[in-house]
Amino acid sequence: MTFPLVRMRRLRRSEALRRMVRETRLSPDHLIQPLFVVPGQGVRKPVVSMPGVAQLSVDNTVREAEKAAKAGVPAVILFGIPDQKDAEGSSSWSKDGIVQQAARALKQELPELIVIADLCFCEYTSHGHCGVIDHNDPRSDVHNDRTLPNLGKQAVALAQAGCDIVAPSGMMDGMVGAIRKALDENGHSQLPIMSYSVKFASAYYGPFREAAESTPSFGDRRSYQMDPANAREALREARLDVEEGADILMVKPALAYLDLIRDLRENFEHPIAAYNVSGEMSMIEAAAQLGYLDRKRTILETLISMRRAGADLILTYWATEVAGWL
């Protein structure tokens, strides 16, 4: 018995045909541009390990955000590097904190732009960990429950500064519930929470720690960030965040965890965000500089893979550039 030859290639013959039947699409609306904010005026300090990325003073943060908005990117996410750090990261909830300053400037100049604030303490603490350390044992683990009220204070301060979304990233148990309660009690019940629900203790964060000046002064973050070997645990983490009031669920990193983006997409109706992290970016940039990869095609293929896995939103350092290509 013979079977007719199935002609799968008929719809691949031209770019127009391929575009017509394309299953997964990437648009500027899917992209979020991360920005690193530092004190000062006129500051643009390149991050060596992340080509095209720089630490920016507030005035230059506004300029970069303008470029993103003109390219069609609807949102930026801000990471702050303060001039002073302490054991609790108290500058993170100051009215004049560096992210609060940037948020006010952005909302004044670009009122339609969505301003997201990363909500954590690693950039603000003198020890570089994501919460309070026991004062009697400064090399001990992060104290989960003593960190939660501080997350609430930081969230309220960011909301008061005009941020449109807060994004807690510290992987503290109960963090979404504590933040939701603090926001609701202070008149910000309308503010969404984009939780880093599934955040792994990953080797891909190395370049980010240079950019955010957030390398721990001792130990690592494996006692509170997830073990890269675990998948079922990711669903438990996401489910808890949903129960506590999260509006958007994030997976970080993205490229090595596409299976978990798919798992969240199949199990939750919430928008799913994927963080295309610094190490993923730096690998492609390094390979492209050596001529091993076609840079543009590789970037687009990488981001499409995240959309195909189920991500509605992608945080990527290439957001503004990619939006200009689309």
311-325 pLDDT, tens per residue?
A: 999 999 999 999 999
Q: What integer is the mean pLDDT of 293-300?
A: 98
CB distance 191 to 183 below 8 Å = yes
**Beta carbons within 10 angstroms of residue 174's beta carbon:** 16
- Give the tokens for residue 195: 């939780």
82 to each of 41, 91, 106, 289, how far by Cα in Å? 14, 7, 18, 32
Catalytic site residue 199? Answer: yes
252 is known as an active-site residue: yes
Looking at 70, 153, 199, 296, which residue is catalytic? 199
What are the residues whose beta carbons fall under 8 Å from the beta carbon of 132, sequence distance 6 or more? Answer: 87, 88, 142, 143, 146, 147, 150
Q: Show the domains of the chain with their CATH numbers.
A: 25-249 (3.20.20.70)
Q: Which pLDDT tens digit goes with each residue over 194-228?
A: 999 999 999 998 887 676 566 676 666 677 789 99
244, pLDDT greater than 90: yes
> Token digits for 274?
């994927």
Each residue's pLDDT tens digit, 72-94? 999 999 999 988 888 777 888 89
53 and 46 Cβ atoms separated by less than 8 Å: yes
Is residue 114 within 8 Å of residue 69, measured between CB atoms? no
- Sign of torsion, CA 290 281 269 172? positive
Q: Kindly state the tokens that stand for 11.
A: 């719809």
Helix (H, G, I), strand (E, B) or coil at 234: helix
Out of 67, 85, 153, 252, which one is annotated catalytic?
252
